Chain A
Amino acid sequence: MTGFATVIYEIKDGIAYITLNRPKALNAYNVQMRNDLFQVLEAVKSDREVRAVILKGAGEKAFCAGADLSEFLTAPPPVSARSIRWERDVWGLFLSIPQPVIAALHGYVLGSGIEMAMCCDIRIAADNTQFGLPEVDLGIIPAAGGTQTVPRAVSQSMTFDMLLTNRWIKAPEACEAGLVNRIVPSEQLLTEVEEIAGKIVSYRPEAVLALKKAVNGGLDLNMAQGLDLEKRLAERVNAELT
């Protein structure tokens, strides 16, 4: 059920599997992948059968090693840059997915790779995973939300250490820093992630959706507004039960 050049999209037992599929290029993010992801995420968002999403990378070596620099050598002309910003905002779309998204991480998780992982709600990493933000080495800054999502998950100290020095960290340090939820042996990665997704799928979908909305929405509000959001969501979700 996939018609995409760079992404495999499958649905099984209520779980959508999105697999970044350019293993020879370490699943580097390119323009085609952006377009493919855009379509896949649109599909996920509106598909009521999808109750949880798993994002993973094909091949042994990497979840995603960053942006494909062969396509980024020259800056796009201002007109197309502008239209990309407004019309192909794949990261805004990603963050607006209502269902829980779980990242299954292994190998290199660099640049846009980290940023994609940070758009997910739960991150599980194989013990061989390495994380890095190499953008400033290239004279640029992250552009897929990294400067915003990373410091919301790990401390600002660690964010700057990675961002300003291009320091790569391994799975245990990433776990301690709060970048990932837990570490599992490589060969158990998918099983573990499927177990989490399966659990989520087994719960009442309305409650799951409301939970994600309450937590993620609430973090952008002040405390009183956040409590109010929770109350409104809970009243609606719980009322449907009686």
Chain B
Amino acid sequence: MRYDTIDYKKEKGIVIINVLAHPVSQKKKERLSVELYDVCAKILSDKKILLTLLTGSNKDSFSIESITTAPDSVNIDTGSSPLNISDSIAGLDMPVIAAVNGNVSGPGMEIILACDIRIASETSSFSFPCIKDGRIPQGGGTQRLPRLIGRAGAMEMLLTGEPINAKEAKKKGLVSRIVPDGELLSHAKEMARKIVSKGPIALKYAKEAVNKGLDMTLSQGLQLEADLYYLLHTTEDRTEGIKAFRDKREPDFKGK
């Protein structure tokens, strides 16, 4: 598929998806959804990709004006069910970083909520304005937001539709870092490089343990963690990691 609304770049195990925004027409919005859906499938099937970084080059890349998570008029050849971009992103079995600036709203929120780490520029803002039009989110907003920032904070955002700024977002746990406006992408890339220098299997298992574990009781989650930990005992990366630490050198992980 040729991409018009996103830019897709792959280097050293990192995929950078840049949402070019902002496609103002409904048709363009839907095109963006299809492309994001397609790119997720492509990433999943490429075993060389260790991390996905999602960002937008425009202040409105993740605004409600630009993105729709579940375009109902679109019919993809895989079946009749409407595609849901946030589910596609949540389904990526690798660390996924969202680096956002500007206005993140509605479906854009739902997309970044499906990522693992969110970092934001100082001037970004976050909102779910759809209640003002008498609608509710349909791409996981009512489920992922309260799980991430707590019920009270989520209710306030969903019921008032009002935006919060980067500082508040950090305080609520919506994002984990705020960076100066001009440094967002360089900061995110550095973070991505740091992550991919680590053992790829351990990264995958860490993500699985946290995300699946949060949907289990604590004791079930602990059992999952223990099982994954012992599975890692069988990897060469584990031996290499501990050896490198003791030899005071950088580890050379092979993903084996």
A residues adjacent to B (C-beta < 8 A): 69-70, 72-76, 81, 85, 91-92, 95, 135-143, 145-152, 154-161, 163-166, 176-178, 219-220
Contacts and interface: CB of A to CB of B under 8 A. Distances in A.
Contacts of A150: 210
B199 to A, nearest CB: 4
B95 to A, nearest CB: 5
A106 B218 CA distance: 26
A220 B233 contact: no
A138 B117 contact: no
B178 to A, nearest CB: 12
Given A75-B238, A145-B225, A157-B173, A164 B209 contact: no
B225 A148 contact: yes
Contacts, number: 160
Interface in B197-220: 198-199, 201-203, 205-207, 209-211, 213-214, 217-219
B253 A139 contact: yes
Interface in B223-256: 224-226, 228-230, 232-235, 237-243, 245-246, 251, 253
Interface of B: 95, 116-118, 147-149, 170-177, 191, 194-195, 198-199, 201-203, 205-207, 209-211, 213-214, 217-219, 221-222, 224-226, 228-230, 232-235, 237-243, 245-246, 251, 253
B242 A138 contact: yes
Contact of B209 (A69, A139, A141, A166): A141
Contact of B199 (A136, A159, A178): A136
Contact of B242 (A136, A139, A176, A219): A139
10 contacts: A73-B246, A136-B202, A136-B203, A138-B245, A139-B253, A141-B225, A151-B214, A155-B148, A166-B194, A220-B218
A141 B195 CA distance: 14
B173 A158 contact: yes
A7 to B, nearest CB: 22
A39 to B, nearest CB: 21
B229 A160 contact: no
Contact of B116 (A138, A154, A156, A220): A156
B210 A151 contact: yes
B218 A143 contact: no
Nearest to A142: B225
Given A85-B230, A137-B245, 17 more contacts: A69-B242, A75-B233, A75-B238, A138-B202, A138-B245, A139-B232, A140-B229, A145-B225, A148-B213, A148-B224, A155-B174, A156-B210, A157-B116, A157-B148, A160-B207, A161-B176, A220-B219
A149 B203 CA distance: 18
Contact of B218 (A75, A148, A159, A164): A148
B232 A73 contact: no
Contact of B117 (A72, A164, A177): A164
Contacts of A219: 218
Nearest to A67: B242
Given A69-B242, A141-B232, A156-B148, A164 B217 contact: no
B246 A155 contact: no
A155 B202 contact: no
Interface pairs A-B: 9 shortest CB-CB? A155-B173, A139-B241, A139-B199, A147-B209, A138-B241, A139-B237, A148-B221, A161-B176, A75-B233
A85 B223 CA distance: 9
Given A69-B242, A73-B243, A147-B213, A165 B191 contact: yes
B232 A140 contact: yes
Contact of A95 (B191, B218, B238): B218
A136 B198 contact: yes
Nearest to B112: A157
A152 B245 contact: no
A10 B35 CA distance: 63
A54 B238 CA distance: 34
A165 to B, nearest CB: 5
B233 A161 contact: no
Nearest to B175: A157
A28 B194 CA distance: 25
A220 B195 contact: no
